[in-house]
């Protein structure tokens, strides 16, 4: 994201930062052509959100190295807004892990249906399995067969 000077159509440059005082942070940008300045003031909630994302406020002396953010995240893993206890920082991790819950009692899978679900990529299989189980439960089916899987697939728009 860049801020542009509307008069000069030049990218604004970071001029100064102050704070966070009492949770607020001020960031001032300046146009290198005409000297116009604009400031951004954050409230305590916004400042906390920016900090939780690991954003460092202030100018850089040297440009970022390629993949710097990725290497840093891998070297220093931390909990962030997307982390779920015991999982990666993937925003879909909760759904995938929730899908790994045991099948409801009395709901059996036919060998053909088991073989078919095994062809789904491993990382999405638990969620797909649980979706089919929920579909079968909602329809009142006592077991999951290939016909139930076909019906579920049609209902899911696949």
The reply to whether 81 falls in a domain is no
| Ranges assigned E (strand) in the chain | 13-21, 24-30, 37-42, 108-109, 143-144
Q: Buried b vs exposed e over 38-48: b needs ≥16 C-beta within 10 Å?
A: eeeebeeeebe
| pLDDT grade for 85, boundaries at 50, 70 and 90 | very low
DSSP states along 76-106: S----TT--TTS-S-TTHHHHHHHTSPPPTT
Which tokens belong to 31? 């146009």
Q: Do 100 and 53 reside in the same domain of the chain? A: no
pLDDT tens digits for 120-144? 888 888 888 888 999 999 999 999 9
pTM to 2 decimals?
Answer: 0.37
Residues 91-112 have a mean pLDDT of 60
- Per the model's pLDDT, the better-predicted residue between 41 and 158 turns out to be 41
Percent of the chain's residues with pLDDT above 70: 62
How far, in Å, CA of 62 to CA of 74, rounded?
22
The reply to whether 73 falls in a domain is no
The reply to whether 36 falls in a domain is yes
27 and 57 Cβ atoms separated by less than 8 Å? yes
Q: Do 52 and 102 reside in the same domain of the chain? A: no
The reply to whether 138 falls in a domain is yes
- Please provide residue 53's backbone torsions phi and psi, each rounded to the nearest 5 degrees: -85, -5
The reply to whether 70 falls in a domain is no
Kindly report the CATH number assigned to the domain that includes residue 48. Answer: 2.20.25
Q: Do 105 and 51 reside in the same domain of the chain? A: no
pLDDT tens digits for 5-37? 888 888 888 887 777 666 777 878 889 889 888
Residue ending a domain, choose from 11, 37, 57 = 57
pLDDT recorded at residue 111: 93
Q: Do 52 and 98 reside in the same domain of the chain? A: no
pLDDT recorded at residue 3: 77
Which tokens belong to 153? 């697939």
In the predicted model, is pLDDT for residue 93 greater than 70?
no
Domain count, the chain: 2
The reply to whether 82 falls in a domain is no
Kindly report the CATH number assigned to the domain that includes residue 109. Answer: 1.10.8.550
Percent of the chain's residues with pLDDT above 90: 16
Q: Give the domain range for residue 44.
A: 1-57
Question: How many degrees, rounded to 5, is the angle at CA 10 between CA 6 and CA 13?
Answer: 105
């Amino acid at each position: 994201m860049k801020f542009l000077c509307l008069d000069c159509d030049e990218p604004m440059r970071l001029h100064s930062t102050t704070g966070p005082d009492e949770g607020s942070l001020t960031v001032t940008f300046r146009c290198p052509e005409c000297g116009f300045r604009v400031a951004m003031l954050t409230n305590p909630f916004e400042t906390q959100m920016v900090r939780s994302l690991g954003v460092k406020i202030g100018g850089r002396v040297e440009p970022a190295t390629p993949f710097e953010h990725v290497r840093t995240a891998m070297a220093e893993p931390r909990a962030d807004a997307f982390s779920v206890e015991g999982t990666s920082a993937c925003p879909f991790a909760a759904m995938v892990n929730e899908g790994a819950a045991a099948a409801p009692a009395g709901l059996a899978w036919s060998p053909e249906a088991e073989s078919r679900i095994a062809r789904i990529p491993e990382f999405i299989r638990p969620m797909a399995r649980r979706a089919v189980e929920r579909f079968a439960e909602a329809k009142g089916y006592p077991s999951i067969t290939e016909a139930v899987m076909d019906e579920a697939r049609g209902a899911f728009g696949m």
